[in-house]
Amino acid sequence: MGSLPLDDALFSLNPDTFAEESTAVVDFLARYYRDIERYPVMALDAKPGSIRKVFPDAAPETGESMDRILDDVQRDVLPGLTHWQSPSFFAYFQANASGAGFAGEMLSTGLNVVPFMWKASPVATELEQVVVDWMAGLLGLPELFCFAGGGGGVLHGSTCEAVVCTLAAARDRAISRLGHAAILRMVVYSSDQTHATFQKGARIVGIPPANFRVLHTTAESGYGLSADTVRAAVEEDVARGLVPLYLCATVGTTGLGAIDPVRELGQVARCYGMWLHIDAAYAGSAAICPEFRCHLDGAELADSVSMNPHKWFLTNMDCCCLWVADPTALTSALSTDPEYLKNVGSGGDVSPIDYKDWQIALSRRFRAIKLWVVLRRYGAAGMRNYIRRHVRMAEWFELAVVADERFEVVVPRNFSLVCFRLRPRLGIDDDEVDGLNRQLLAAVNASGRAFMTHFVMDGKFVIRLAVGGAMTEMRHVRDVWELLKEKANELVGGS
Ligand SMILES: *Cc1c(COP(=O)(O)O)cnc(C)c1O
């Protein structure tokens, strides 16, 4: 491969060299995954700014061989990675990779079509409609979010984009009723556990920052947002002449995995004409198991729902499902119709979907083929087993924490996220407890044997263990518990 005809390889998509080079990349990745447990989960030696010095100041003047490039990936790139696919990665929420997700991504990238409208690749649009309907069925979403039920779904790159689109739809729906000036009176409601992207999204669509409500949640409700709290805040705003616009309900919050009561929030939203969005970015995947569907009970009261297959659903980055009950609300806010994008008269009674009008950008990827490959390759039963396996591992870890008197679980576990800490002891104050927990987390992460992140709950520093890696097995969860106990012994002595 060192003697590749570089001119060919560079300036054409030569099927022969392309196959050879891509195979080398696949072999490289297979080796990486085989060896992944040998790498420290975090890039331990990386200091800000230290890595870029390794790379030349300018792009090469002449092309280089793929062999050489892959050698450099091994030498210069791998050591600077945080290994998200490591089976001992328990930080944030997972970004699952899988064989089928990879294959689907290869097909998407390999075909490289840009299906912004139906005509631009009819099958890409229609397969997307099929897979979002399939997903809605698997999650047990109400029929009204399916195309046959008058709603429909779309694949975005991230929840953040999906949220901006729903906020724009809600805003324009209200503007059509109240006029453009009303935007200054529109209010968005969230909880103190809601993902920060809602605040950012509200800013992007022009909601005055002072009109973004961050409502308090408490331990009693498991940090879910109570409908009474929302009602009280809305009443106060209405009395001041403000316009309740949008309410976010989260199923599985990022910090603690908390669950907002969807039905009750939906009733409040209906009562005041607010748009209700359900953010199930992480935990939506669990809803494919009947035992977790109850958390989406009341979804028929929502205007939109989103979840990320790129988190806990074996779908490589990136893929977010967004469903809306009323697609015209979305397309009214997002459609453009310049001459160069006039669609075909499809000839039939059905006017085709142009997904450019369901998203921010014009260009888009053929993500549907990726999710379709994942669903076909593993099947619904396989996916349910996959989810349940992680939940069982998290259950085991939670019980281990409970059984060790030095530790406490700070909020009952939901799904596969365990939030815990070293517990306060006689004679040390809250700051010292926080300090010990910070040290514990730092020691675990510095070992390179696992990676976890933290959250601050009611002012307390808590450690999160998010189980859900595609390669994570029970032994990795046992190992991380042993590691935690080992570091705890060094900090506070044995149990
Ligand atoms: C991860 C997450 C998001 C953000 O998702 P992106 O796809 O990264 O934009 C939003 N909400 C919740 C609850 C999440 O867990």
Is residue 207 included in any domain, yes or no?
Answer: yes
Give the domain extent around 31: 14-83
Nearest Cα residue to atom 5 of ligand 1: 159
DSSP assignment, residue 348? S
- One domain, residues 60 and 157: no
Segment 334-375, tens digit of pLDDT: 998 777 777 665 445 678 999 999 999 999 999 999 999 999
What's the pLDDT score for residue 344?
63
Ligand 1 midpoint to CA 432 (Å): 32
Cα–Cα distance measured from residue 331 to residue 166, given in angstroms and rounded to the nearest whole number: 10
Closest approach atom of ligand 1 to CA 253 = 13
Is 395 among the domain residues?
Answer: yes
Which atom number of ligand 1 is nearest to the Cα of residue 311? 1
What distance in angstroms lies between residue 256's CA and the mean position of ligand 1's atoms? 13
Q: Which two tokens stand for residue 495?
A: 């149990």
On whether both 340 and 460 belong to a single domain, the answer is no
Please check whether residue 467 lies inside any domain of the structure. Answer: yes
Q: Answer yes or no: do 18 and 49 share one domain.
A: yes
Mean predicted lDDT score pLDDT of the chain: 95
Which of 312, 330, 365 lies at the terminal end of a domain, its last residue?
A: 365
Q: What is the pLDDT of residues 102-160, one digit of tens each?
A: 999 999 999 999 999 999 999 999 999 999 999 999 999 999 999 999 999 999 999 99
- Check: CB of residue 445 under 8 Å from CB of residue 454: no
Please write the tens of the pLDDT for every residue from 228-257.
Answer: 999 999 999 999 999 999 999 999 999 999
List Cα–Cα distances, 277 to 249, 336, 487, in angstroms.
6, 24, 42
Distance (angstroms) between ligand 1 centre and the Cα of 347 equals 40
pLDDT > 90: percent of the chain: 89
CA-CA distance, 144 to 141, in Å (whole number)? 8
371: in domain: no
d(CA 446, CA 438): 12
Is residue 23 located within the same domain as residue 159? no
Name the residue among 22, 338, 275, 296 with its Cα closest to residue 138.
Answer: 296
Give yes or no: residues 409 and 359 share one domain. no
Cβ atoms within 10 Å, residue 478: 14
> Residues near 5 by Cβ (< 8 Å), separated by ≥ 6?
17
- pLDDT for position 345: 55
Residue 62 forms part of a structural domain: yes
Produce one character per residue of 53-89: b if its CB has 16 or more CB atoms within 10 Å, e if not: eeeeeeeeeeeebbeeebeeeeeeeeeebebbbbbbb
- Minimum mean pLDDT range among 45-59, 81-95, 191-205, 441-455: 45-59
Closest residue by CA, ligand 1 atom 8: 158
Q: Is residue 281 located within the same domain as residue 358?
A: yes
Q: Span 402-418, mean pLDDT? A: 97
> CA-to-CA distance for 172 and 438, rounded, in angstroms?
45
| Strands of 275-279's sheet in order across | 152-156, 320-324, 304-307, 275-279, 243-250, 186-191, 212-215
Q: Which of 83, 98, 127 is the last residue in one of the domains?
A: 83
Best residue among 204, 251, 254 to mutate for probing ligand 1, ranked by most atoms within 8 Å of CB:
254
CATH code for the domain in which residue 408 is found? 3.90.1150.170
pLDDT at 365: 98
The CATH number of whichever domain residue 46 belongs to comes to 1.20.1340.10
How large is the angle between the packed helices 430-446 and 474-492, nearest 10 degrees? 130
CA 454 – ligand 1 centroid, Å: 16
Q: Identify the pLDDT of residue 336.
A: 84
- 108 domain-assigned: no
- What is the rounded distance in angstroms from the CA atom of residue 168 to the CA atom of residue 257? 27
**Confidence tier at 218 by pLDDT (50, 70, 90):** very high
Instruction: Name every protein residue with a CB atom under 6 angstroms from any ligand 1 atom.
Output: 93, 158-160, 195, 197, 250, 253-254, 279, 281-282, 308, 320
Residue nearest atom 1 of ligand 1, based on CA coordinates? 281
Ligand 1: distance of its center to the CA of 161 in Å? 10
Residue 321 in this model has a pLDDT that exceeds 70: yes
CA distance 88 to 85: 8
Cα–Cα nearest to 353, from 132, 156, 119: 119
- Residue 192 · residue 216 · CB < 8 Å: yes
Closest CA to 248 of 228, 220, 268: 268
- If asked whether residues 272 and 350 sit together in one domain, one would say yes
245 and 356 co-located in one domain: yes
Is 313 found in the same domain as 170? yes
Q: How confident is the model at residue 495 (pLDDT cuts 50, 70, 90)?
A: low
Could you identify the atom of ligand 1 that is nearest to the CA of residue 320? Answer: 7
Nearest CA, atom 7, ligand 1: 158
**Does a structural domain hold residue 373?**
no
Residue 196 burial class via C-beta count within 10 angstroms: exposed 0-12, middle 13-18, buried 19 and up: exposed
Q: Are residues 407 and 339 in the same domain?
A: no
Nearest-angstrom CA–CA distance, 36 and 32: 6
CA distances from 413 to 258, 402, 454, 482 (A): 9, 11, 15, 20
Tell me, yes or no, whether 50 and 163 share the same domain. Answer: no
388 and 475: one domain?
yes
Chain centroid to Cα 178, Å, comes to 34
Tell how far the Cα of 491 is from the centroid of ligand 1, in angstroms.
34
Say whether pLDDT at 93 is over 90: yes
CATH number for the domain including 351? 3.40.640.10
105 is a domain residue = no
Q: How many domains does the structure of the chain reveal?
A: 3
Best of 282, 414, 417, 419 for a ligand 1 pocket test (most atoms within 8 Å of beta carbon): 282
- Nearest C-alpha neighbor of 234 from the set 222, 224, 220, 246: 246
Q: Which residues pair with 307 in a beta bridge?
A: 321
